[in-house]
Structure 1
Amino acid sequence: MPYLMRVELPDVPGSLGRVAGAIGEAGGDIEAIEIVEKRDGFAVDDVLLEMAPGTMPDSVVSACSILDGVSVLWINRYAAGGNLFLDLEVVESLTEDPSTARDRLVDLLPMAFKVDWAARIRPDGDTVKVVHATDAAPSEFDLGTISSPTRLPGDEVYVECAAPFAGDVVLMGRRGGPEFLDSELARLEHLLGLAITISRD
Structure 2
Amino acid sequence: MASAIGRAGANIVSLDVVGIADGMAIDDVTVQSDVPADILRRAVEEVPSVVVEAIRETDTFRDPTAPLGLASEMVAAGSGAVPMLVNGLIDALWVSWAMVVAASITGPQVLHASGDVPGIDELETPWLPIEDLRRLTRAPWMPAAWRDQHDLEVVAAPLSQRNTALLVGRTEGPRFLDSELTQLQRLARIAVKVEVMAGNGNGAAR
Determine if the TM-score, normalized by the shorter chain, exceeds 0.5: yes
Q: Which runs of 5+ in 1 are unaligned?
A: 1-18
**CA offsets, 1:122-158, max 9 Å, x none?**
1113621111000411352333123211111242312
Q: Which residue of 2 aligns with 1:113?
A: 93
Residue 57 of structure 1: CA displacement?
1.4
**Higher fraction of strand:** 1
Q: Which residue of 1 aligns with 2:183?
A: 187
Alignment of 1:36-75 (within 5 A): 36-52=18-34, 55-75=35-55
Q: Which moved more, 1:31-40 or 1:119-128?
A: 31-40
Alignment of 1:129 with 2:109, yes or no, is yes
Distance 1:198 1:58, change over 3 A: same
Alignment of 1:166 with 2:160, yes or no, is yes
1:64/1:72 contact within 8 Å kept: yes
Q: How many matched pairs?
A: 180
RMSD: 2.0
Q: Which residue of 1 aligns with 2:63?
A: 84
Q: Which runs of 5+ in 2 are unaligned?
A: 139-146, 198-206
The 1-side partners of 2:106 and 2:27 are apart by 40
The 2-side partners of 1:89 and 1:21 are apart by 33
Residue 117 of structure 1: CA displacement?
0.6
Alignment of 1:147 with 2:131, yes or no, is yes
TM-score normalised by L of structure 1: 0.80
Distance 1:33 1:170, change over 3 A: farther
Percent identical pairs in the alignment equals: 29
Residue 25 of structure 1: CA displacement?
2.0
1:28/1:49 contact within 8 Å kept: yes
Distance 1:159 1:83, change over 3 A: closer
